[in-house]
Amino acid sequence: MAISRSQLLKELEPGLNALFGLEYDRYDDEQAEIFDEESSDRAFEEEVMLSGFGQAPVKGEGAAVTYDTANEAFTARYTMETIALAFAITEEAVEDNLYDRLSTRYTRALARSMANTKQVKAANVLNNAFNSSFPIGDGVELCSLLHPTVGGGNLANELVTAADLNETSMEQSLIDISGFIDERGLKIALRGMKLIIPPQLQFVAERLLASNLRPGTADNDINATKSMGMLPDGYVVNHFLNDADAFFIKTDCPNGFKHFVRTPIKTTMEGDFETGNVRYKARERYTFGVSDPRCVFGSPGA
C-alpha cells in the first residue's frame, strides 16, 4: 500500500511549524564490538570443529608407541537471511506536500529500520544464550555447563551458580575461562578480553573496572582486575540485550562470534508507469552466529 495524501493531511496545509519523529540518533554498529565480520558468496557457510590428540601416555621400554586418532567434532552452520523493507508514495502526495521531500525523509527512516533489525538480530545471539531452544553447532545452547567434547568430558562456559555482576562473579568467570579445555581435554590458554553488558549494568561495570581500589568495600586493597590487566578491552554496553542482569565476557578464542555478509545493503527506487507511485526498497543478506562456544563466558544473573 502506498503512502497517500490521506496519511499526510497536515503536510498539505500551510501553517505547519515542524515535522518531527524521524530525527532521533541511533545506536550504530554495536554488533561490531562482539562479532567478527566476514564476507560470503554462498547460501550458507559451515565451520567445522576439529579434535586434536589427547594426553600423551608413557611408553614402556620395548613397547609399541600408542596411536591416537583425530576427527571432526561438530559443524556450525550459518544460513544467510534476506532482510528487506520497502515503501511507496503516491504521485499526488509527492506533488502536494508543502514542507519536505517525502522520499528523502522516508528513505532515512528506511535505513534506520534496517539498521535496527541488524542490531536486534546480532543481540539475539546473546539474548538466547541460555535458552536450550536455540542450540549452536554442538547441540546445546551457547552458554551451558554441558558442552560435549570428543574426549568425553563437558566444557562449562557459564557459572555453576548463576550470579549477578559483581567482583566475586567476575573474578570467578575469569578463573573458569583460564581452565577451558579443548575437545580432547587439554588445557588451552584463553583469557577474558571484554565485558559485554546491558545498559542497566554500565555503572556497576565502571566501578568494577575503572576504580584503583576494590569497589564496594572500605578495605584499602587494590582492584586486582585492573592491576593485573584483566579484561584489557574493558566493557561495552549493548542496548539491544533484553536481560537487565545478564552479563557476558568475550574471550580471545579464534573463530567465535561470526557475522557473515552475503550481500551488503542496497537501496533501489523505481516508478510505476500506470499509477505514478514511486517505490523504494532496501535489501541485504547476512547472518550472525557462533562457531566455538569458548569465545564467551556468561551468567544470566541471579
pLDDT in single tens digits along all 302 residues of the chain:
665 544 444 444 454 334 444 556 778 889 999 999 999 999 999 999 999 999 999 999 999 999 999 899 999 999 999 999 998 888 887 777 644 566 677 788 888 899 999 999 999 999 999 999 999 999 999 999 999 999 888 999 999 999 999 999 999 999 999 999 999 999 999 999 999 999 999 999 999 999 988 887 777 789 999 999 999 999 999 999 999 999 999 999 999 999 999 999 998 988 888 888 888 899 999 999 999 999 999 999 99
Say which CATH class 32-51+78-299 falls into: alpha beta
Q: How far apart are CA 235 and CA 243, in angstroms?
A: 17
Terminal CA-CA length for the chain: 47
pLDDT for the residue 15: 42
pTM above 0.85, yes or no: yes
Contacts of 257 (CB under 8 A, 6+ apart): 34, 35, 36, 125, 250, 288, 289, 290, 295, 296
The CA–CA distances, whole Å, from 41 to 137, 264, 279, 290 equal 21, 11, 28, 19
Q: What CA–CA distance (Å, rounded) separates 293 from 157?
A: 7
